[in-house]
């Protein structure tokens, strides 16, 4: 007797199954059509550029869940079982259709191995679903939501899988073929039927129940969270896209008009909560959640551009929901520090950083819901070229007493432009960074100059606050000076200047100058490696290093600062609980340095609590915003007697034996 599969065994009314299958596929097609229509809208708004992508890494992320494993073994194992179980059953279903309608190949040994394979896939799916339910309800993971669809989805899919096993068990109990043991789970369950006749009588009912539940699931698939199976691979593929300045023009403070990459992000998100778990703002108890922002953005995109919401009876509901979401977005628009922690942990690379800028751009354009302090900051930036003081030409005061070439004028040619930055050149505490760094460069024989009082803002502040026009104005001013003096090799004090000049300025450069942009920690590390900087003054201190977000997560620079610290004789480096790519934000990014908002927590105090736990005598950083925020938190948070705050440039100057000048702030041991 040749092992084979008999289609519709023991089932009548096959035409009804075909009718239901057609309806389910129509619902599936409708859902996919709606999503593709939305994605097409995003492609028109922000065309996709060609780019090289690491295909192997993408395949590892999609089929092995590489990023998911980083969040815990149980999450990675659950996803792997669900993915391969579901994928195996889907392939098996397609194979059955091919066997029935096109080419009959499920016979003999092929059929036996096919049956065993489906049993394995079904078992994987069931185990994955059980683990998913346990992680959400029995041994709950705090970051996971418990919404109705979070329960319905796994239970529905569990009913599909278990129903398939029961159908197979009834068929085996009724027919008892010699090869029944190959379907090992069905074979095991077949013993629950009291007799072959009982199995034969129950089989049609089980078969139809399984068919209806399965077809219903197919119809619901594109409308459920499982739609991320379509969007996630594309989202991961597009992660290598060049960073857009803004996807499209701002419109009424909405998150609806987004580019393709961002729309894919919205559909790829499964609300796993990892972003909330690491968001410093959310963890501090402030009313902001990256997950909720993404959910509202997805709903707004659907409401605004879905073909289904153009139907007359949905228009009123559409407008009411849009207005409700706008109000919610306006309330939280200014909390985000743009620290990128959410993107670091997201398995599908969906994060709201660019969407926050899009939202802010709309609010700034509209002139509403913008905190007065930020409006004052933007006004100063527009009128005086800096966000700090109502005075032009204030950026050269830090350099008094130092013979530093002014490259905004005709002068000697130098190898490097030292781009000091607004905060470093104006804030009293941060000026110590500029003085220390210029002394180190001079000591090491670096040929450098500055733009003096003509140095413009790099545009980062306007960019983070969503002031697109002002950002472009600042960038164009900077580019004009660079092009005029043929300055292409730049060292930045601030990671924010470094990030903007390196990534955003080339998008606006008509000249296409090949900029070489370094953060000062990279330059100092290079000087040390070249033997041009030798630390000959021991510093017997225990220090801990705070990674600035825009240096570590935004630009992956975590080793160079630590390499310098380890090279300084006498220093003992101890790490905080969150460090490197997992560093905790100081709270100064995203424009929060320049304003206070209701319910705002002191994120820097939380960071210094971690520093205090290390027993360090010095907290070292490499960013003027971090330096200011941590210094203020040290004074207000009760840490003054525990440690001092110092910048890496200042510590390097001390290790070189360079004396403090001009009242430069020095951290005491």
The Cα 375–Cα 366 span in angstroms is 12
Query: Between residues 423 and 261, which one has the greater pLDDT?
Result: 423
What are the angstrom distances between the C-alpha of 633 and each of 162, 434, 552, 601?
A: 57, 22, 21, 11
pLDDT of residue 351: 78
Per the prediction, the chain carries an average pLDDT of 89
Alpha helix stretches (DSSP H) within 102-147: 108-133
100: left (phi over 0), alpha (psi -120 to 50) or beta: alpha
Percent of the chain surpassing pLDDT 70: 93
CB 126 within 8 A of CB 82: no
The residue-averaged pLDDT of 453-477 equals 93
pLDDT at 473 over 90: yes
| 668 phi, psi to nearest 5 deg | -85, 150
Q: Return the closest-CA partner of residue 125 out of 79, 171, 168.
A: 79
| Tokens of residue 76, six digits | 């990675």
- Residue 1 — very low, low, confident or very high, per pLDDT cuts 50/70/90? low
pLDDT bin (cut points 50, 70, 90) of residue 421 is very high
The CA-based diameter of the chain, rounded to the nearest angstrom, is: 102
Angle of helix 148-175 relative to helix 196-220, nearest 10 degrees? 150
pLDDT band at 511 (very low <50, low <70, confident <90, very high): low
Structure tokens at 126: 């069931």
Please write the tens of the pLDDT for every residue from 360-372: 988 898 887 889 9
Per-residue pLDDT at 201: 94
Highest averaged pLDDT of the listed ranges 30-39, 369-378, 419-428: 419-428
* Strands 542-545, 572-573: pairing kind: parallel
- Of all residues in the chain, the percent with pLDDT exceeding 90 is 65
Q: Is 464 helix (H, G, I), strand (E, B) or coil?
A: helix
User: Which two structure tokens, joined as six digits, stand for 459?
Assistant: 């545009």
Three-state SS at 491: strand
- Compute the Cα dihedral for 227, 119, 152, 292 and give only its sign: negative
Token couple for 80: 């792997």
Best-predicted range by mean pLDDT among 29-38, 81-90, 401-410, 598-607? Answer: 81-90
Two tokens, residue 204 = 């049609």
- CA 376 to CA 594: how far, in whole Å? 9
Sign of the C-alpha dihedral computed for residues 362, 364, 367 and 371 taken in this order:
positive
Q: Is the pLDDT of residue 507 over 90?
A: no
CA atoms within 13 A on the CB side of 245: 19
List Cβ neighbours of 446 (8 Å cut-off, separation of 6 or more).
415, 416, 523, 527
Stronger pLDDT, 373 or 669, i.e. the higher one:
373
How deeply is 413 buried, as exposed, middle or buried, from its count of CB atoms within 10 A (0-12, 13-18, 19+)? exposed
CATH number of 535-655: 3.40.50
3-state helix, strand, coil in the chain (%, to 5): 60, 5, 35
Any residues with CB less than 8 A from the CB of 148 and at least 6 apart, and which? none
What confidence category does residue 256 fall into, taking pLDDT thresholds of 50, 70 and 90? Answer: very low
Whole-angstrom distance, CA of residue 81 vs CA of residue 126: 8
Residues 461-472 pLDDT 10s: 999 999 989 999
pLDDT at 532: 95
Q: For residue 244, what are the CA distances in angstroms to 92, 240, 360? A: 42, 11, 15
What is the rounded radius of gyration, in angstroms, for the C-alpha atoms of the chain?
A: 30
Question: What is the mean predicted confidence (pLDDT) over 313-330?
Answer: 76
Q: What distance in Å separates the CA atoms of residue 625 and residue 355, rounded to the nearest whole number?
A: 23
Average pLDDT over residues 547-566: 97
CB-based contacts of 176-181 (< 8 A; 24+ apart in sequence): 177/1, 177/3, 178/1, 179/3, 179/112, 179/115
Cα 575 from Cα 541, distance rounded (Å): 14
> What is the spatial distance between Cα 624 and Cα 645, in angstroms, rounded to a whole number?
11
| 116-144: average pLDDT | 94
d(C-alpha 394, C-alpha 208), whole Å: 79
Q: Where are the extended beta strands (E) located within 26-125?
A: none
Q: What is the pLDDT of residue 172?
A: 93
Same fold, 241-366 and 535-655: no
Which pLDDT band holds residue 243 (cuts at 50, 70, 90)? Answer: very low
- Give the number of C-alpha atoms closer than 13 A to the C-alpha of residue 241, restricted to the C-beta side: 22
| Alpha-carbon dihedral sign for residues 449, 453, 455, 460 | positive
As assigned by CATH, the class of the 241-366 domain is mainly alpha
pLDDT tens digits for 515-548? 899 999 999 999 999 999 999 999 999 999 999 9
Sorted by where each begins, the domain ranges of the chain are 52-230, 241-366, 373-527, 535-655
Residue 258, helix vs strand vs coil: coil
Tokens describing residue 25: 């596929």
pLDDT, tens only, 200-215:
999 999 999 999 999 9
Structure-token match 């905080």, residue found: 576
State the DSSP string of 16-32: HHHHHHHHHHHHHHHHH
The whole-number pLDDT of residue 552 equals 97
- Mean pLDDT for 568-572 is 97
Q: How many residues does the chain have?
A: 669
Structure tokens at 414: 């130098």
pLDDT-derived band at 669 (thresholds 50, 70, 90) equals very low
Q: What is the mean pLDDT of residues 327-338?
A: 88
The H-or-E segment that residue 186 falls in is helix 184-189
Give, rounded to a whole angstrom, the gap between the first and last alpha carbons of the chain. Answer: 88
């Amino acid at each position: 007797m040749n092992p084979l599969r008999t289609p519709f065994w023991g089932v009548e009314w096959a035409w009804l199954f075909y009718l239901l299958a057609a309806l389910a596929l129509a619902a599936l097609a409708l859902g996919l059509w709606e999503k593709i229509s939305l994605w097409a809208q995003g492609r028109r708004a922000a065309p996709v550029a060609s780019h090289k992508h690491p295909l192997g890494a993408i395949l590892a992320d999609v089929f092995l869940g590489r990023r998911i494993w980083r969040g815990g073994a149980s999450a990675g194992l659950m996803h792997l079982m669900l993915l391969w179980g579901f994928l195996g059953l889907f392939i098996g279903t397609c194979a059955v259709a091919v066997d029935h309608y096109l080419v009959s190949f499920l016979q003999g040994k092929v059929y036996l191995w096919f049956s065993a394979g489906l049993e394995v896939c079904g078992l994987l799916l069931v185990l994955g679903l059980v683990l998913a339910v346990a992680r959400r309800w029995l041994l709950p993971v705090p970051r996971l939501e418990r919404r109705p669809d979070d329960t319905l989805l796994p239970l529905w899919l569990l009913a599909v899988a278990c129903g398939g096993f029961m159908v197979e068990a009834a068929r085996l109990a009724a027919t008892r073929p010699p090869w029944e043991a190959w379907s090992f789970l069905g074979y095991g369950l077949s013993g629950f039927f009291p007799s072959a006749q009982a199995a034969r009588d129950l089989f049609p009912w089980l078969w139809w129940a399984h068919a209806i539940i399965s077809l219903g699931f197919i119809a619901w698939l594109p409308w459920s969270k499982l739609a991320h199976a379509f969007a996630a691979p594309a989202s991961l593929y597009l992660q290598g896209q060049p960073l857009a300045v803004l996807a499209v023009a701002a419109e009424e403070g909405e998150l609806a008009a987004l580019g393709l990459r961002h729309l894919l992000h919205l559909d790829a998100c499964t609300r796993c909560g990892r972003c909330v778990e690491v968001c410093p703002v959310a963890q501090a108890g402030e009313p902001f959640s990256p997950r909720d922002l993404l959910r509202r953005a997805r709903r707004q995109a659907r409401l605004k551009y879905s073909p289904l919401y153009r139907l007359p009876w949905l228009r009123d509901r559409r407008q009411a929901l849009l207005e409700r979401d706008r109000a919610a977005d306006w309330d939280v628009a200014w909390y985000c520090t743009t620290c990128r922690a959410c993107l670091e942990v997201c398995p599908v690379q969906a994060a709201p950083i660019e969407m926050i800028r899009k939202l802010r751009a709309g609010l700034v354009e509209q002139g509403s819901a913008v905190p007065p302090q930020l409006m004052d900051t933007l006004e100063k930036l527009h009128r005086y070229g800096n966000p700090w003081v109502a005075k032009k030409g204030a950026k050269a005061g830090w350099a008094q007493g130092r013979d530093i070439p002014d490259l905004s004028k005709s002068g000697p040619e130098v190898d490097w432009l030292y781009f000091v930055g607004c905060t470093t050149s104006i804030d009293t505490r941060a000026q110590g960074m500029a003085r220390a760094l210029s002394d180190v460069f001079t000591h090491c024989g670096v040929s450098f100059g500055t733009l003096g009082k003509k140095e413009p803002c790099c545009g980062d502040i306007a960019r983070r606050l969503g002031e697109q026009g002002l950002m472009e104005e600042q960038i164009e001013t900077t580019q004009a000076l660079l092009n005029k003096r043929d300055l292409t090799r730049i060292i930045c004090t601030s990671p924010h200047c470094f990030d903007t000049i390196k990534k955003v300025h080339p998008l606006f450069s008509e000249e296409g100058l090949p900029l070489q942009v370094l953060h000062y920690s990279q330059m100092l590390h290079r000087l040390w490696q070249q033997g041009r900087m030798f630390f000959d003054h021991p510093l017997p201190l225990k220090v801990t290093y705070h990674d600035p977000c825009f240096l570590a997560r935004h630009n992956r620079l975590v080793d160079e600062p630590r390499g310098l610290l380890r090279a300084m004789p006498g220093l003992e480096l101890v790490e905080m609980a969150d460090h490197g790519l997992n560093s905790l934000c100081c709270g100064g990014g995203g424009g929060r340095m320049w304003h206070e908002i209701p319910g705002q927590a002191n994120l820097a105090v939380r960071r210094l609590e971690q520093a205090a736990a290390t027993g360090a005598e010095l907290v070292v950083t490499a960013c003027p915003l971090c330096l200011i925020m941590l210094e203020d938190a040290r004074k207000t948070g009760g840490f003054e007697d525990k440690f001092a705050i110092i910048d890496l440039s200042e510590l390097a100057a001390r290790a070189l034996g360079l004396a403090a000048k001009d009242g430069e702030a020095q951290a005491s041991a």
